[in-house]
């Protein structure tokens, strides 16, 4: 493999990628390794491992700080918390929980008459999951995950379970439920030059040692090593197309000083995360496409999804050492995942992520688990909770519905691009599923010996959809490879193409799909 | 008095990087206040209100530098990379200053209306009564962001400065275990 030649001053490249997060990095690495000239435009600032300061306060720099996103609906997608800002995108502050979607998640409409079907099956995606986990180095115990779809065993053994995990696992066992180590994109042993995890619980602030597989130590590093360029503070304002409207020709972007630039490309991949990718397509209007690119059927922005999530907290007599271990948790339970209609009136899968590392402050820190405690009562609570708290989070399934969508507002960013409104609500069936899960969680904590147990408010975890994939151009934006139905060389990578949410963290699937997209587009590049 | 970065990391109190008379110094929040390190956004009344209110929410917040923290972040609110938790909560960055200004003004008015005193002069029982009303959205004539939302945000800010630093962890007996320790608390 020889590094790609430098990009000439004419600013014409083989492949232009919008967004330096997980999906964009995977595509860029594949293309650069084949000697293609690759340019990645990233709206946020550069990030290096040395920027990943161990502090929940400083960690907020890694979250979205671009054009403001308005939100409404009965379950907001939580854009600013879920989205990243800068090189690495949200994958820089991801928790590295990497379970696979289940086979049934791909056939939701066929099997249940709800939501959408994917244009590919689990069996189609399985080889790409296997390929990614071998490249990244997942840690886990495949045999212990009795619910796991078929796949290669993990390349690394599971991370250890600490006191918090042991204590809460008692409750699952008491109620006849199984647990297994979470499959994590975190090294339990040295792997490809990356050191093993130290279990310090700072995943959310970014992992500067590279034990957690963020793009700076995986695909983006490999892309750069093969000659790909990353240009920061480069806000893409529109995608350009040819006169026939069948091919894109490049993009317009603005630099930090507000200067306009144009880059031509043989292919363009939009990997700017679900909301911003939809926003960019909608904003790329032309005479040929007055409603935006890839939007002939008014589908761009629709089917926006977020996992309805609830945390359950408890205080135990045991010492739980809640500050230890991965932020994403130590154990997972997907019992009953495949029975989406288990409870009358409710619908959807869910999983439990158990024993997440907790720090004292921040939105998901110890202090904010009980906002009703303040004044002189707070310090005793904090002292007790810092040693005896346990927690877990239920990740529930959302249903893709057309009314949940990204639209443009009348407001514009400093480059003149309309801002996004993300509207999202859950149905009564989803609400019932989430309520039932919370009740189960509280019962599990009581069974584990919690002296007090309570649930936090529901929140939107992860963002998916908005540019969904499908077989029929009348009902989807892209095909199974992420290629826009309307434009031969415009691709979308990332969670925006998901046709269903399942109830698992999306980052592994994002990587697998992006790897598949890259292999496909490179055949024609 | 100047401190090295090592002092900052090992010291028993929070130290802030301040510029006094053209000199860059490491000062505790109290020393910074005494040295009249100027606030760039918050007014004197707002400083007094936020210190009294935050102290009532999370004891230790005044000494930990709640006013300096908010002032520093609000001064750079339009620059991106904000460290305020508010960025997660659906408030437009262009409205951050307005959010705090309106919240603190309403809170100050609530203290005056209920007890005839500003926040720094409220005793614990009086402060708790105003806070309880804020948490329940039961403050007459409150304007600006909902009182309960302001309560939540200000409480979280106070928890940040009291418990979210190396000293805060130490206070709880929680090992900080940094990969990269913060050179400054915020």
DSSP state of A487: -
Q: Mention every residue, 6+ apart, whose C-beta is less than 8 A from residue A249.
A: A240, A241, A242, A264, A265
Please write the tens of the pLDDT for every residue from A417-443: 999 999 999 999 999 999 999 999 999
**CA–CA separation, A515 vs A134, rounded Å?**
13
How much is the pLDDT for A131?
Answer: 98
Q: Is the pLDDT of residue B41 over 60?
A: yes
Stretch A352-374: mean pLDDT, rounded? 97
> Helices B147-163 and B44-57 meet at what angle, rounded to 10?
80
Is A45 an 8 Å CB contact of chain B? Answer: yes
Asked if A423 is an interface residue toward chain B (Cβ–Cβ < 8 A), one would say no
Contact residues for A480 (Cβ-Cβ < 8 A; gap 6+): A118, A119, A120, A124, A469, A471
CB contact (8 A) between residue B174 and residue A60: no
Q: What is the pLDDT of residue A7?
A: 53
- At A6 the pLDDT is 54
Tell me the C-alpha distance between A363 and A369, whole Å.
Answer: 8
Of B57, B83, B177, the CB nearest to A200: B177
**Measured distance CA(A371)–CA(B134) in Å, rounded:** 12
Residue of A56, A367, A411 for testing the chain B interface, max B β-carbons within 10 Å: A367
Q: Is B180's CB within 8 Å of A323's CB?
A: no
Band of pLDDT at residue B25, cut at 50, 70 and 90: confident
Measured between beta carbons, the chain B residues lying within 8 angstroms of A378 are 57-59
B160: which chain A residues are within 8 Å (Cβ-Cβ)? 56-57, 361-362
Distance, in Å, from the CA atom of A482 to the CA atom of A269, rounded to the nearest integer, reads 9
Q: Is B13 exposed, middle or buried (0-12, 13-18, 19+ CB in 10 A)?
A: middle
Question: Token pair of A423, please?
Answer: 């509207």
Can you give the pLDDT at residue A4?
Answer: 58
pLDDT tens across A265-312, in order?
Answer: 999 999 999 999 999 999 999 999 999 999 999 999 999 999 999 999
pLDDT 10s digits, B71-94: 999 998 777 778 999 999 989 888
Q: What is the pLDDT of residue A252?
A: 97
CA distance A232 to chain B (A): 14
Q: Any residues with CB less than 8 A from the CB of B180 and at least 6 apart, and which?
A: A50, A52, A53, A54, A208
A74 touches chain B (CB under 8 A): no
CA distance B85 to chain A (A): 7
Q: How far apart are CA A346 and CA A365, in angstroms?
A: 30
8 A C-beta contact, residue A470 and residue A116? yes
What's the whole-number mean pLDDT along residues A118-129?
A: 98
Spell out which residues of chain B touch residue A323, defining contact as CB-CB under 8 Å: 174-175, 177
For residue B13, what pLDDT is reported? 64
Q: Minimal Cα–Cα distance from A483 to chain B, Å?
A: 32
Mean pLDDT of chain A: 97
pLDDT at B65 over 70: yes
Name the token pair of B67.
Answer: 């006013």
CA A335 to chain centre: 23
Mark yes or no for CB contact A361/B80 under 8 Å.
Answer: no
Give the span between the Cα atoms of A314 and A388, in whole angstroms: 8
Hey, is A271 helix, strand or coil? coil
Residue A399, pLDDT above cutoff 60: yes
| Lowest mean pLDDT across A45-59, A499-513, B18-32, B63-77 | B18-32
Token pair belonging to A328 = 């994403």
Cα→Cα distances B101→A207, B80, B93, B107, Å: 36, 20, 14, 10
Read off the pTM.
Answer: 0.95
A375 touching chain B per CB within 8 A? yes
Mean pLDDT within A53-81 = 96
Q: Are A148 and A337 spatial neighbours (Cβ–Cβ below 8 Å)?
A: no
Bridge partners for A423 per DSSP: A72, A405
- Looking at chain A, the whole-number percentage of residues with pLDDT higher than 70 is 98
pLDDT (average), residues A314-324: 97
- A209's CB contacts (< 8 A; 6+ apart) are A49, A194, A195, A198, B179
pLDDT 10s digits, A206-250: 999 999 999 999 999 999 999 999 999 999 999 999 999 999 999
β-bridge mates for residue A71, sequence order: A422
**Predicted local distance difference test score (pLDDT) of residue B9:** 39
B45 DSSP 8-state letter: H
For A452, list phi and psi in degrees, rounded to 5. Answer: -140, 145
What does the pLDDT average to over A465-487?
97
Strands A12-18 and A260-270: parallel
Task: Inspect the interface and report whether the beta carbons of A65 and B169 lie closer than 8 Å.
Answer: no
pLDDT number for residue B24: 74
Chain B contact for A207 (CB, 8 A cutoff) = yes
For residue B175, is pLDDT > 60?
yes
Give the confidence band of B7 by pLDDT, cuts at 50, 70, 90.
very low
Query: What pLDDT is stored for residue B4 in this prediction?
Result: 37
pLDDT of residue B27: 77
B172: nearest CB among A68, A209, A383: A383
Residue A162 has pLDDT above 90, yes or no: yes
Q: How confident is the model at residue A5, as a pLDDT? A: 55
Quote the tokens at residue A104: 């049934």
H or E segment and range at residue A353 = strand A350-354
Instruction: Please tell me the predicted confidence (pLDDT) of residue A420.
Output: 98
Residue A310 β-bridge partners: A394
Q: Tell which residue, B65, B155, B51, B3, has the closest CA to residue A369.
A: B155
Least confident of A151-165, A317-331, A478-492, B76-90: B76-90
Nearest 5°: CA angle at B16, between B14 and B17?
Answer: 155
**Helix, strand or coil, per DSSP, at residue A240:** strand
Q: Averaged over B178-182, what is the pLDDT? A: 95
Shortest Cα–Cα distance, A188 to chain B (Å): 17
| Chain B residues with CB-CB distance to A201 below 8 A | 177
Reply yes or no on whether the pLDDT at A10 is more than 80: no
Q: Which residue among B57, B163, B173 places its CB closest to the CB of A361?
A: B163
Cβ separation of A55 and B182 shorter than 8 Å?
yes
% chain B with pLDDT above 70:
89
Residues 6+ apart with CB under 8 A from A259: none
- Is a pLDDT exceeding 50 seen at residue B6? no
User: Does residue B123 have a pLDDT over 70?
Assistant: yes
**Contact predicate B182/A53, CB 8 Å:** yes
CB contact under 8 A, B178 and A379: no
CB contact under 8 Å between A53 and B81, yes or no, is no
- DSSP strand E in A202-257: where? 229-231, 235-241, 248-254
Q: A42: which 2 tokens?
A: 């990233």
Residue B80's alpha-carbon distances to A48, A61, A63, A70, A71, in angstroms, are: 17, 8, 10, 17, 19
Chain A residue nearest residue B52, CA to CA: A375
Q: What was the pLDDT predicted at A318?
A: 96
CB atoms inside a 10 Å sphere around CB A403:
11
- Band (pLDDT 50/70/90 cuts) for residue A2 is low
User: What is the distance between the alpha carbons of residues B186 and B59, in angstroms, rounded to a whole number?
Assistant: 19
CA distance A500 to A121: 12
Which of A455, A430, A428 is CA-nearest to residue A441?
Answer: A455
Show the tokens assigned to A490: 């415009």
In degrees rounded to 5, what are phi and psi of residue A99? -80, 165
Residue A233 contacts B where some CB pair is shorter than 8 Å = no
Q: What pLDDT is recorded for position A3?
A: 56
Q: Provide the 3-class DSSP secondary structure of residue A173.
A: helix
Confidence of residue B3 (pLDDT cuts 50, 70, 90): very low
How far apart, in whole angstroms, are the C-alpha atoms of residue A194 and residue B34?
A: 48
Q: What is the mean pLDDT of residues A183-196?
A: 98
């Amino acid at each position: 493999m020889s590094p790609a030649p430098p990009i000439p001053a004419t600013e014409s490249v083989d492949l232009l990628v919008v967004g330096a997060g997980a999906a964009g990095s995977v595509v860029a690495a594949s293309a650069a390794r084949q000697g293609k000239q690759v340019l990645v435009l990233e709206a946020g600032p550069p990030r290096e491992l040395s920027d990943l300061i161990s502090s929940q306060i400083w960690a907020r720099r890694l979250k979205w700080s671009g054009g403001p996103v308005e939100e409404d609906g009965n379950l907001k997608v939580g854009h600013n918390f879920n989205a990243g800002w800068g090189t690495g995108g949200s994958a820089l502050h991801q928790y590295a929980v990497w379970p696979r979607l289940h086979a049934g998640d791909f056939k939701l409409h066929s099997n249940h008459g709800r939501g959408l079907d994917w244009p590919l099956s689990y069996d189609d995606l399985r080889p790409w999951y296997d390929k990614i986990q071998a490249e990244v180095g997942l840690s886990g115990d495949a045999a212990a995950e009795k619910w796991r779809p078929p796949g290669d065993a993990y390349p690394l053994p599971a991370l250890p379970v600490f006191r918090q995990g042991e204590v809460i696992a008692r409750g699952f066992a008491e109620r006849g439920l199984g647990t297994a180590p979470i499959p994590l994109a975190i090294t339990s042993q040295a792997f490809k030059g990356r050191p093993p995890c130290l279990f310090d619980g700072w995943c959310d602030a970014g992992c500067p040692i590279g034990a957690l597989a963020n793009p700076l130590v995986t695909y983006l590093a490999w892309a750069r090593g093969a000659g790909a360029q990353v240009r920061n503070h480069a806000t893409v304002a529109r995608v350009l197309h040819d006169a026939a409207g069948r091919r894109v020709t490049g993009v317009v972007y603005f630099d930090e000083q507000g200067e306009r630039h144009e880059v031509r490309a043989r292919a363009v991949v939009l990997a700017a995360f679900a909301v911003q990718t939809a926003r960019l397509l909608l904003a790329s209007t032309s005479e040929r496409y007055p409603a935006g690119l890839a939007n002939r059927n008014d589908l761009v922005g629709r089917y926006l999804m977020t996992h309805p999530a609830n945390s359950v907290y408890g205080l135990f007599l045991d010492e739980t050492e809640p500050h230890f271990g991965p932020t994403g948790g130590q154990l997972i339970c997907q019992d009953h995942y495949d029975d989406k209609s288990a409870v009358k009136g409710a619908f959807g899968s869910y999983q439990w992520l158990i024993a997440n590392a907790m720090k004292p402050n921040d939105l998901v820190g110890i202090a904010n688990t009980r906002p009703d405690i303040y004044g002189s009562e707070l310090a005793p609570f904090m002292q007790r909770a810092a040693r005896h708290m346990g927690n877990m989070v239920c990740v529930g399934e959302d249903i893709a519905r057309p009314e949940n969508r990204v639209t443009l507002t009348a407001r514009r960013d400093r480059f003149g691009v309309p801002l996004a409104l993300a509207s999202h609500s859950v149905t009564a069936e989803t609400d019932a599923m989430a309520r039932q899960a919370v009740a189960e969680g509280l019962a599990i904590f009581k069974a584990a010996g919690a002296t007090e147990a309570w649930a936090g408010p529901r929140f939107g975890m992860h963002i998916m959809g908005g540019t969904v994939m499908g077989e029929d151009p009348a009902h989807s934006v892209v095909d199974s490879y992420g290629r826009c139905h309307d434009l031969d060389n415009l691709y979308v990578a990332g969670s925006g193409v998901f046709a269903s949410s399942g109830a698992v963290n999306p980052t592994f699937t994002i990587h697998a799909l992006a790897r598949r997209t890259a292999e496909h587009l490179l055949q024609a590049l | 008095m100047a401190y090295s970065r090592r002092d900052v990391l090992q010291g028993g109190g929070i130290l802030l990087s301040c510029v006094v008379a053209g000199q860059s110094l490491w000062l505790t929040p109290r020393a910074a206040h005494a040295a009249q390190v100027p606030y760039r956004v918050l007014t004197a009344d707002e400083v007094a209100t936020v210190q009294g209110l935050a102290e009532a929410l999370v004891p230790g917040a005044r000494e930990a530098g709640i006013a300096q923290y908010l002032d520093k972040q609000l001064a750079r609110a339009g620059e991106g990379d904000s460290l305020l938790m508010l960025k997660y909560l659906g408030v437009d960055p262009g409205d951050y200053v307005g959010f705090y200004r309106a919240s603190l003004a309403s809170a100050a008015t609530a203290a005056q209306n209920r007890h005839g005193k500003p926040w720094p002069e409220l005793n614990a029982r009086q402060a708790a009564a105003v806070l309880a009303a804020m948490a329940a959205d039961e403050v007459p004539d409150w304007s600006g962001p909902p009182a309960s939302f302001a309560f939540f945000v200000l409480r979280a800010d106070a928890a940040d400065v009291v418990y979210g630093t190396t000293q805060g962890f130490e206070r709880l007996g929680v090992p900080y275990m940094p990969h990269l320790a913060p050179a400054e608390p915020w």
